[in-house]
Structures are given as structure tokens and as C-alpha cells.
């Protein structure tokens, strides 16, 4: 296991700036996800750690060693790619042993390491088969076995589950995290899938347009997003333009046309001051962030704000509602007790201020 650190990493491809001054620490033995949309720079960072790309400026450390100029084959890294990259004309055993051939290991020790790697990924006794004889999920496990058989300091995984169908993908993400827990290797995982990142990670690094937007645990980035981009990218969110009426030691008071005054706990406004220098003061424009699952629908009437259901996305136990209050459109995700509300119905809306977040206004998002 090894700690990985990025210090002010920048990467340009000609005039295109792919990564803007990234600073991050991947703790020893942790599972950290680089999360963001296509083109945000997450794979570029992974390729720079692996040595497949060189940073334009900045430093990369594995342990105490600066590795900017260390070639790929001397970094002792395990790599798992989206397309598996298995040799179709070689047996499973030969595929797994490929990285051991240049490590001065006896044939008997090599065979034992291959067997141990297959045991770890729960595919014993398949070393004499060929990749074409295995399913997609099994091939992905073989790619993982090939990466861990060399006992790497760091395991790099570039969207390794994206080629699998939905059900197999869910099974494999559970299995992949279980394997990482068993072997304890520092792992860096790239994905654009929010559910994968939330389910698997010890820490998530959210990226957008080559910049790191937020670093935190899954709970931190989901419940207290640092920017409007993070709030919108992770889960279904409503972000309402608001005005800051005031603040004290524990709360910030926001006002929106839809919900009036809402006091948001500062613990859920932890992003204040982190949005590239932005802070919130009385009179400032802001955003009130309400997660879709925290907006509760009820029968029409009473003092609560009233909304019209425009569309319903029925999901079995859940329904996702698209709503309108005046000119404002919202979404809510609620459990279904008996029958879902129907399009055209008027409903009441209730929000829990303790489940809301305050964000600086971010017009770029």
C-alpha cells in the first residue's frame, strides 16, 4: 500500500487545458473515486498517475517518491481498463501471469500467485480457459486479477464497470469493493456514475471542466455540496434562487418566493467560503438546495405551498414527480403509500429545513 499525492498538477494538450492545478491526497489503503462528466479531466489525472501521460507542471508522489519522471513499468501500479484489455489468444493463466514475467519469479511461484489471484476474485480453476469462454463479468474479474497479482502499491481503475449491463454492474461494484477491502490496496477509481461513487468510495473527488469542485466522504459531498455543480451532479436537486436575510452562529436565513423564509443550519452550509472565494452575507444572492427526496408531497390545502403535478415517473416503490409553482419547476421523489399522485393534480409541498443546504450563487452551473 502507498499514499498518493498530487501537488498543483496541471495538464495541457496544446491550447486545451485539461487539468487546472489539482491538489489531492489518496490515503494509504483507501478507495477514492474521481467523479465527473465526460471531459472533466478525471481520466487524464489517472493517466498521469499511471505514467501514460506526463503533467505539464506540478508533482506526483507515491509514498515519499516523486514519480514524474519514473517510467510506467517502474511505478508498481495495477491498471484495470474499461475494455478489460485481455489477450484473446492467451489462456487466463497466461493473461494473469503476464505482469510477472519480468519480475524474476520462478515458474512454481508464478503458478501459485496466479492461483491466489484467481481465488481472490472467486474464479478458481479457470486458468486453462480463454477469455472468449468467460462472461463479461468474469473477464472483468480476470482483468482485476491480472492487476493485483503483481502486488501493486496502487490500483488504478478506469471506468472498469461501464461495459457491463445494469444488473451485473451492480453485482460487480459490490464484489470489487469487497476485493479491495480484502487486499487493502490503495485504489483510485474513475467513473461518471454517481451511484457507483456513492456506494463504493471512502472519499470522492468531484471534478468539472478540469477543476476539483469538492473532496469529501460520500455523505459530505451529497449532503453538504460545496458548489451548485456538485449539488446538481450528485443526485436530483432543486436549486432555488434565494436572498440572504441574515445569519447567526448556527443558522443562515434564506428567503425564496416559493417557500418564504428558511433557516438552514450552518452545518449544512459548510460550503460557504469554499466556492472559489465566495462567501454569503446579509443581502447577498444565494441558492437554496433541496434534494428531490427531501421534498414531501401531500394532499392539496393548508398553509403549505401548493404545486401542480406536471408529470409522473413511476418507479414501483417510488415516484418521481415533476412539479410547477408559478413559473418555477421542481422535482420530488417520494415513496408511494397507496397510489401515486397524478398529472394535473394540485398538491402541497413540505420541506425539512434541516435537509436543505445554502450555496453561494453560481451562474456557471
Tell whether 58 is covered by a domain. Answer: yes
**Helix/strand/coil for 298:** strand
- Residue 251 is predicted with a pLDDT of 85
Domain CATH number, residue 335: 2.40.50.140
Place of cell 465566495: 278
Q: Flag whether pLDDT at 197 surpasses 50.
A: yes
Mean pLDDT of 277-300: 85
- Residue 280 is predicted with a pLDDT of 76
Same domain, 175 and 258: no
Tell whether 9 is covered by a domain. Answer: yes
- Residue 235 is predicted with a pLDDT of 84
Q: Flag whether pLDDT at 91 surpasses 80.
A: yes
| Closest to 242 measured CA to CA, from 230, 229, 252 | 252
Tell whether 365 is covered by a domain. Answer: no
CB-count exposure of residue 56 (10 Å: 0-12, 13-18, 19+): middle
Domain CATH number, residue 183: 3.40.50.300
| Residues spanned by the domain of 16 | 4-223
pLDDT tens track for 1-33: 789 999 999 999 999 999 999 999 999 999 999
- Residue 349 is predicted with a pLDDT of 94
Q: Flag whether pLDDT at 270 surpasses 50.
A: no
Residue at which a domain ends, from 223, 254, 277? 223
Mean pLDDT of 273-293: 73
Paired residues of 20 in beta bridges: none
Amino acid at each position: 500500500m502507498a499514499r498518493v499525492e498530487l501537488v498543483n498538477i496541471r495538464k495541457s494538450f496544446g491550447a486545451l487545458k485539461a487539468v487546472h492545478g489539482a491538489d489531492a491526497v489518496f490515503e494509504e489503503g483507501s478507495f477514492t473515486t474521481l467523479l465527473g462528466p465526460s471531459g472533466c479531466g478525471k481520466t487524464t489525472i489517472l493517466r498521469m498517475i499511471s505514467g501514460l501521460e506526463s503533467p505539464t507542471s506540478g508533482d506526483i508522489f507515491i509514498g515519499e517518491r516523486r514519480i514524474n519522471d519514473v517510467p510506467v513499468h517502474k511505478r508498481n501500479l495495477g491498471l484495470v481498463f474499461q475494455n478489460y484489455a485481455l489477450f484473446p489468444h492467451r489462456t487466463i493463466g497466461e493473461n494473469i501471469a503476464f505482469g510477472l514475467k519480468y519480475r524474476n519469479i520462478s515458474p512454481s511461484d508464478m503458478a501459485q500467485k496466479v492461483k491466489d489471484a484467481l481465488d481472490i476474485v472467486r474464479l478458481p480453476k479457470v486458468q486453462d480457459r480463454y477469455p472468449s469462454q468467460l462472461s463479461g463479468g468474469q473477464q472483468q474479474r480476470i482483468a482485476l486479477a491480472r492487476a493485483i497479482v503483481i502486488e501493486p502499491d496502487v490500483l488504478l481503475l478506469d471506468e472498469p464497470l461501464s461495459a457491463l449491463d445494469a444488473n451485473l454492474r451492480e453485482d460487480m461494484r459490490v464484489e470489487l469493493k469487497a476485493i479491495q477491502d480484502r487486499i487493502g490496496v490503495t485504489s483510485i477509481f474513475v467513473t461518471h456514475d454517481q451511484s457507483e461513487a456513492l456506494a463504493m468510495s471512502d472519499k470522492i473527488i468531484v471534478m468539472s471542466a478540469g477543476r476539483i469542485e469538492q473532496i469529501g466522504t460520500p455523505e459530505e459531498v451529497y449532503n453538504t455540496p460545496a458548489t451548485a455543480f456538485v449539488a446538481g451532479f450528485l443526485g436530483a436537486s432543486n436549486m432555488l434562487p434565494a436572498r440572504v436575510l441574515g445569519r447567526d452562529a448556527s443558522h443562515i436565513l434564506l428567503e425564496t418566493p416559493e417557500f418564504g423564509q428558511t433557516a438552514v443550519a450552518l452545518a449544512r452550509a459548510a460550503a460557504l467560503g469554499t466556492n472559489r472565494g465566495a462567501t454569503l452575507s446579509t443581502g447577498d444572492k444565494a441558492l437554496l438546495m433541496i434534494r428531490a427526496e427531501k421534498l414531501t408531497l401531500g394532499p392539496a390545502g393548508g398553509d403549505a405551498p401548493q404545486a401542480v403535478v406536471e408529470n409522473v415517473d413511476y418507479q414501483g416503490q417510488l415516484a418521481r414527480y415533476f412539479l410547477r409553482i408559478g413559473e418555477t419547476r421542481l422535482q420530488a421523489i417520494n415513496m408511494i403509500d397507496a397510489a401515486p399522485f397524478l398529472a394535473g393534480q394540485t398538491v402541497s409541498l413540505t420541506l425539512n429545513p434541516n435537509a436543505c443546504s445554502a450555496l453561494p450563487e453560481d451562474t456557471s452551473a
